[in-house]
Amino acid sequence: MKSANILLLILIIISACKQKEHLIIEGTFPAEWETQNVQLRFLDEDLNDSTIIAHSSVKNNQFRMKGSIMHPDYVVLRFDNDKSVYLFLENTTTKIRFSPQTGTPIISGSPLNDQLATFNAQFAPFRQELQKVRDEIVKARNLQKDTPGFLTRKRAQMDTIIQEMVKCQKAFITEHPNSLATAYILRMSKTDLEMPFVQSVYSNFDGEIKNSSIGKSLKKQITAQEKTALGNSFIDIRLADVKGKEIAISELAEDQEYLLLDFWASWCGPCRHENDNMIKIYNQYHSKGLEIVGISLDVNKEAWQRAIKEDHITWAQLSDLKGWNSPLVAKYGIEGIPYTVLVNKEGKIVAKGLRAENLRNKLAEVFNN
């Protein structure tokens, strides 16, 4: 908060003294937006809105802000019609317009925003290809044609695409090792970037990047991952079951050799597909000492209960119905679901983030199957 206030003060002083501005933001947007005011805000370590840096009125569907900033940061523009634009803020002229076809913002003129735009252009085809495969799985499921062989093939396709996504990310990071855009990619990554790799890149960032909103958010994510590193004790918590009774996760696996935490949600397509795999795992290993506890990131209780019934889930299910605001999301550093954590009888984490074949292989290993 102190640094935010200092930056705000600098913006005010420079504007009042009419010194040479180093930071200019110019925006043009569709007339149908009917917005009259825009605020520029810092973000906190959770990437939620923080201090208002500046504000501007809108005239003829355009706005302009100017000032200076001590070091680049990741910020948000909030319009009074509830729309927003996230962008990198730096001492240069940044122009924002909106695609007439999609309405998405097009940001230019800023080196950091240009870097991210270049990366997104390279990364988008992989994201689209991955979504296409997921859509094919959903369609097959709806038509009851999602046979085991079909799902195996589709999962293999998804794994291949994710590997290419990781290559794309690492290529950009290698080219831009000390960039705020790299910090953003690490923070927002939903693929399989290894935590040691993320930690290594973060450690080489300069102080300005580490002290930015993205840098602080990334550090918080890394810390959460470190707390749930392999060999550490799993984080226990009391949550409500489907009947509303609160119970500690540990109480559900007191007599079992292993506990598998399965983070999922009714609205998550990949999670629903993975439930087929989880049923097979449960049937194979429950009698040998495996207990599965599902932890839902749902917010709608009826949707959660309906999905449990539709997917024929028989193991314990817990949720605080807070979605991504659930304390366990931050505690475990979860960035995407489905997400699993395997815990031994001593309460130590022995694996995490595994699914499908990788999860089955790990269970075969621990049960000497």
Tokens of 49: 């809105």
Q: What's the pLDDT band for 159 if we cut at 50, 70, 90?
A: confident
Report the relative pairing of strands 105-108 and 93-98 from DSSP bridges: antiparallel
Q: Burial level of 321, CB count in 10 A (0-12/13-18/19+)? A: middle
Each as own residue / partner, the long-range contacts of residues 243-251 (CB below 8 Å, 24 or more positions apart, any chain) are 247/318, 249/293, 249/295, 249/318, 250/347
Cis peptide before 338 (omega within 30 of 0): yes
| Average pLDDT of the chain to the nearest whole number | 87
Three-state SS across 39-78?
EEEEECCCCCEEEEEEEEECECCEEEEEECCCCCEEEEEE
How many degrees, rounded to 5, is the angle at CA 156 between CA 155 and CA 161? Answer: 95
Instruction: Give residue 191's pLDDT band: very low, low, confident or very high (50, 70, 90).
Output: low
| pLDDT at residue 137, rounded to an integer | 82
Which residues have C-beta within 8 Å of that of residue 10, sequence separation ≥ 6? 67, 68, 69, 70
What pLDDT, on a 0 to 100 scale, did the predictor assign at position 254? 86
The tens digit of pLDDT for each residue in 10-29 reads: 443 334 344 445 889 999 98
Contact 23, 69 (CB under 8 A): yes
> Concatenated DSSP letters for 62-119?
EEEEEE--SS-EEEEEEETTS-EEEEEE-SSEEEEEE-TTT--EEEES-HHHHHHHHH
- What is the average pLDDT across 83-108? 89
The reported pLDDT for the residue numbered 243 is: 92
Would you list the domain boundaries of the chain? 2-108, 112-227, 238-366
| Three-class DSSP category at 38 | strand
Instruction: Using the predicted structure, report yes or no on whether residue 314 has a pLDDT greater than 70.
Output: yes
**98 - beta bridge partners?**
105
Element (H, E) at 203: helix 195-203
For residue 346, the surrounding DSSP H or E stretch is none
- The structure's pTM equals 0.75
Closest CA to 69 of 98, 110, 28, 29: 110
What fold does the segment set 2-108 form as a domain? Immunoglobulin-like (2.60.40)
Residue 177 DSSP symbol? T
For 232-277, write each residue's pLDDT tens digit.
999 999 999 999 999 999 999 888 999 999 999 999 988 988 898 8
C-alpha 78/C-alpha 63 separation (Å) is 12
- The C-alpha atoms of residue 336 and residue 151 are separated, in whole angstroms, by 20
Domains 2-108 and 238-366 share a fold: no
Backbone angles phi, psi at 36, to 5 degrees: -120, -15
Q: Write the DSSP symbol of residue 317.
A: E
- The H or E element spanning position 161 is helix 148-175
Residue 18 host element (H or E)? none
**pLDDT above 70 covers what percent of the chain?**
93
**CATH class, range 238-366:** alpha beta
77 Cβ contact list (under 8 Å, min separation 6): 25, 27, 38, 39, 40, 41, 84, 85, 86, 87, 96
Please give the share of the chain, as a percent, with pLDDT higher than 90. Answer: 56
Q: Is 368 left (phi over 0), alpha (psi -120 to 50) or beta?
A: left
What confidence score (pLDDT) does residue 236 get? 92
The label of the residue with tokens 């940001």 reads 107
